[in-house]
């Protein structure tokens, strides 16, 4: 059997996670994605398939708040968490189900989740 690439391993983990994690109107799904240059987060209601809230490190409001595009550092992931939680509270969302998108739970993903919890989002 051929050795899997890092991307293929992440895709397998992501599919395995998505079998179990499902967002409802009461507890929508908070999914994250990190690329080499940016960090993205969305809160999604899977019953209707609508994105309720989103934030990213290349978002216009992010650039206005922090003065630059980001996403390459742990601090940028924490700043995206602040922006996302602010927008979620405006929409009345306080409880979510966390979908790490197949990424290992450390580094930016862990920092993002911890910051969301600190700001009042319940997983």
Number of domains within the chain: 1
Flag whether 23 is in a domain. yes
Where in the sequence is the domain holding 99, given as residue range(s)?
6-118
Q: Is residue 13 part of a domain?
A: yes
Phi and psi dihedrals of 70, rounded to 5?
-140, -155
Residue 43, classed as helix, strand or coil, is strand
Here the CATH number for the domain that contains residue 81 is 3.30.420.100
123 in a structural domain:
no
Write the pLDDT tens digit of every residue in 17-70.
Answer: 999 999 999 999 999 999 999 999 999 999 999 999 999 999 999 988 888 888
| Sheet-wide strand order for 29-34 | 50-56, 39-45, 29-34, 97-99
29 in any annotated domain: yes
Q: Which residue in 10, 38, 6 sits closest to 99, CA to CA?
A: 10
CB 45 within 8 A of CB 23: yes
Q: Is the residue at 102 inside a domain?
A: yes
Residue 30 in any domain: the answer is: yes
Let me know if residue 91 belongs to a domain: yes
pTM: 0.90
99 in Cβ contact with 29 (< 8 Å): yes
Residue 85 has pLDDT above 90, yes or no: yes
């Amino acid at each position: 059997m051929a050795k899997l690439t890092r991307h293929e391993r992440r895709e397998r983990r992501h599919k395995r996670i998505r079998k179990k994690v499902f967002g409802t109107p009461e507890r929508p799904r908070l999914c994250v994605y990190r690329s080499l240059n940016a960090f993205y987060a969305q809160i999604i209601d899977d019953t209707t398939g609508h994105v309720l809230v989103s934030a990213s490190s290349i978002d216009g409001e992010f650039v206005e708040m922090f003065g630059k595009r980001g996403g390459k550092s742990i601090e940028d992931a924490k700043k995206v968490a602040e922006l996302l939680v602010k927008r979620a509270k405006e929409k009345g969302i306080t409880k979510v189900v966390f979908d790490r998108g197949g990424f290992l739970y450390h580094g930016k993903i862990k920092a993002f989740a911890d910051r969301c919890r600190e700001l009042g989002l319940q997983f």
